[in-house]
Amino acid sequence: VISYEVENTATLVFQPAGRTLNLADAFVQDTISVTDKFKIIPGLKIENEPYTGIEPLPSLRVSWKPIDQVLLWSSVSRAVRADTPVDRDLIEKVGATPILDKSFNFQPETLTAYEIGTRIQATPHISFSISGFYNVYDDLRTIETTPGTVLPLGWGNMARGLVYGMEFWGSYRITDWLSVGP
């Protein structure tokens, strides 16, 4: 439960000035061992968002150990940035003229994340990991004109984005009680 009360100013107005928002979620996940070396891990989080209702957030992970020292894995998952009072209730004014009006059409921003990687135990003292990711963002927040007029502006979801990259880490165990790395 999130409750807030805002003291409005002449230029920034929340309508309504206060709300009590309820956010609830449930998560379930299972590990399915297809073989001793191959596993599938499906998961599902269900969020009940205050403004948009039910949001399903599925994930799927797969791992395979071709040999004891090597783990190969990949995953795909969905996430959202749910609406906030700024997205739904904020009005910005210059004098009496609304410049930015609250939007009832704003939708949650979504992310589909793809990952792949490997972890290797090269020796009993040396291990490393390399992974890559590719994230697709849809319905990103934009500022749009009101149809048929210039002002007021409103929040929209007209942008997309891509983020991709790789990460690497290594670890060296000097003794049983001292290691260098993550």
Q: Quote the pLDDT of residue 182.
A: 73
CA 9 – CA 14 distance, rounded (Å): 9
CA 180 – CA 166 distance, rounded (Å): 21
Cβ-Cβ contacts under 8 Å for 49 (sequence gap 6 or more): 23, 55, 80, 82, 83, 108
Could you give the 3-state DSSP secondary structure of residue 8?
coil
Q: Quote the pLDDT of residue 101.
A: 86
Could you list the mean pLDDT of each consecutive 10-residue stretch along the chain, which spans 182 residues? 92 93 95 97 96 94 97 98 88 90 84 98 96 97 84 90 97 90 77
CA torsion 133-138-143-148 (nearest 10°) is 160
Q: Quote the pLDDT of residue 51.
A: 87
Q: Quote the pLDDT of residue 45.
A: 97
Q: Quote the pLDDT of residue 179.
A: 87
- Please write down the HEC assignment for all residues of 34-95: CCCCEEEEEEEEEEEECCCEEEEEEEEEEEEEEECCEEEEEEEEEEEECCCHHHHHEEEEEC
Q: What is the pTM of this model?
A: 0.85
Q: Quote the pLDDT of residue 145.
A: 86
